[in-house]
Structure formats: C-alpha cells, structure tokens
A and B are shown apart, each in its own frame.
Chain A
C-alpha cells in the first residue's frame, strides 16, 4: 500500500471512531421518562388495581 493511501485510510478510521465516541458521549445514559402524576385518587386506584401496580400517593 502506498503511504498516501495508507495515511488516508488511517485518517478515515480515526475520524470514524472519533465520531462514534463523540456521539455516544453526547447522548449519555438514557434519561428516565417524566412521571405522569395523577390527581384523581379514585381513578388512580382503579388504574393500579387493573395494572397490578403499587401506588405512590403524595400529599402536599
């Protein structure tokens, strides 16, 4: 392989790797979704019963 071709391929490989690392760093770990706070207690109970989920009821 000629030195010029080798250098071009090497540069392309380094640039691609750099782009992948940069993109990964920017996206970071996946953020959990925003919570959807319910305000109707009775409806929330029905929903929790249906889904078999526990309830977190915050009074403030």
Chain B
C-alpha cells in the first residue's frame, strides 16, 4: 500500500486500523460488503455495527468513488458518530460466524484436497453463486448484488457522496421529485453518507416492487419523499454491470473474447476510428466452460478475427460490456450472427447460443 497522506494518518490514528488481504476465516456475517470490489473500507464499531462503507465504484473505473479527501472527511465525522454510539450502543444480534470455507461448494472442494493459497474477495461471490446453483435456487437476478445507485435514477457526487449531481428522466428519483443538488440524509431510515452506504441499503432491499423512503436536504430544508421501485429494479444495464467479476458466472457465454482495437488500429484496418471492434485473442477451450469455446470454433470463429458486431450490435464501450451484454440478453437455443473481418474481408458466421 502506498504511504497515505499525513491528514489521513492523523485521523486514522484515532481508529484501530486493520488490513485484510485474504478472506480466509473472515466472518461474512459481520464483514458484509461488495465482494466484487478490489478495495473497500468499513468504518465500524467492534461490536459489528457498520457505521459507513467506503469504496464503492461504478463502471467508469475502479477509483471512481475513492477520493482520499472523501475518506478523510468520513473518518472525521464517524469519530463523532462513534462517540455518540458509545453512549447508547445497539449491537446487532449475535450470529454464528460464517466463513468462505463454510460455503458448501467451497467446503466440498477443500474437503477433496484442493489447496487455496489466498481467498480473494470475489471468491466469496463465486462460491455463493456455485452453491446456489447446486441447490437449484440460482437465478440470474442473484448476480445483481450491491446495486449501483444509478438504479434509482440518480448519480452521486464523487467527492460529496451524499449529494446528487444528476437525476435521470424518467426514473424513480425523478418521479419522487428529487433534484440535482439535493443532499441525502437517510434511505429507509438508515443514514447514508457514501456511495457504498447507498449500495448497502439497496443490496438489502427486496428486488420486487417496493417503496423506499428517502430523507434529504434541499437548500437546508429537510424533506421526505418515497421512491416507487418497479419489480426487477435491481437489474442493471450491461454497461453498468460490465465491471463486475460476478458476470463471468452468468450464462450463456459467447466462448470467445479478446482485446478492443484502438483508434489507430481501426484506422489501419480501414474502419471508423471511433467505432467498437475487438480482436479475438482466445476461444475458451479449457476448464468447465470449454464447450462454449468449441461451439464458437465450430461456428467458424478463429483467433485473430476482428469482431465487428454480434447480433447486429456494436454499441459497446468495452469488451467487458460485450461480455455482460451477451450474458444478460442472449437466450440459449437462439442463433446470433457474428460479423467478422478476416484477412481484410468481411464475413458473417452463425453462432448457436449454448448454455
């Protein structure tokens, strides 16, 4: 970890700082967070009460909601909250500890002698998905964890993460009368200060049709509104979902991927420099999903091919978005045309979508 700045060290010295790089033996009933993240900070009481979650991100980049100034401010204000909590503590009910090693599919693998040197955070999601699949209770919606606040129709400021900087129209936030500049106080009665705090409330809310109460400040005046969320409100767009490691658990899979071409590479191929295309650098011919790669090969896709569109679509910002889109929108049994460029010539192949 790079040496943090002095203002961070000064306020963090008021805390007991802990760094965890391996999820082995971590109690998942206490340390609940978005396991797709590569950085998260929980500000908490040692009785298990989580004051705030810092470290969420959106699809635009891993550091999109990680400014150091925000963390320093949060650490300062949480000290005040901690002092108040100490006078009137309300510990969460005690639960039996639950670790990643106890998740059934992981327990089975370990019992079979598999050695895991380090349990990464995303391993928790992967193990949870595998277990639910095995129990026959997995659904695609289970992948839509820790929803991005954009699901409500608002965008939070990256520095002042309780302040709305945009409200989409139409959206539940717009229908409830929220406006840019409004400052969140609480969602469903739970104080929210950060992007991660909002995600926590959304994660724990039901995915069906629900109402969320939002308390906020507008020009200093306290207000309350109700957000009416339709069934399926947690389902993101492929773009919003694209960064998540958990997407690799979804099927159907295309069976091939690669690297997005730069503007220079596109121009050299005689293509528009601002369009999306990628070069196939692999077909999945290994592991438990090798069938998908063999399927793509049988359809005629080769390493080195340039993919121009899939099912007529090339409106992607990244290869990750293409992967998310394929998994979220394609249906097993259908056939999709894949437009390719090979040796300077365009051709189209028909890819049967397999599970």
Flag B106-143 by CB within 8 Å of A: 1 or 0 each.
00000000000000010000000000000000000000
Whether, in the assembled complex, B280 has its beta carbon less than 8 Å from a beta carbon of chain A, the answer is: no
CB–CB B46/A39 < 8 A = no
Cβ of A53: which chain B residues have Cβ within 8 Å of it?
A: 14-16
A37-B19, A41-B26, A47-B16 in contact; A54/B51 too (CB < 8 A)? yes
Total chain B interface residues with beta-carbon distance under 8 A: 38
CB–CB B20/A57 < 8 A = yes
Total chain A interface residues with beta-carbon distance under 8 A: 27
Whether, in the assembled complex, B93 has its beta carbon less than 8 Å from a beta carbon of chain A, the answer is: no
Which segment of B34-42, B214-222, B229-237 sits at the interface?
A: B34-42
CB–CB B18/A56 < 8 A = yes
CB–CB B16/A60 < 8 A = no
CB–CB A57/B44 < 8 A = yes
Cβ of A58: which chain B residues have Cβ within 8 Å of it?
A: 17-20, 39-41
CB–CB B46/A60 < 8 A = no
Find residues 61-113 in chain B having any chain A CB closer than 8 Å to their own CB: 75, 78-79, 82, 86
Which segment of A4-12, A15-23, A28-36 sits at the interface?
A: A28-36
Please, how many angstroms separate the alpha-carbon atoms of A15 and B239 in the complex?
67
CB–CB B31/A56 < 8 A = no
Cβ of B27: which chain A residues have Cβ within 8 Å of it?
A: 41
Contacts A32-B10, A54-B44, A56-B17 aside, 9 further interface pairs with beta carbons under 8 A come to A32-B6, A32-B9, A48-B16, A48-B45, A55-B43, A56-B42, A57-B20, A58-B19, A59-B37
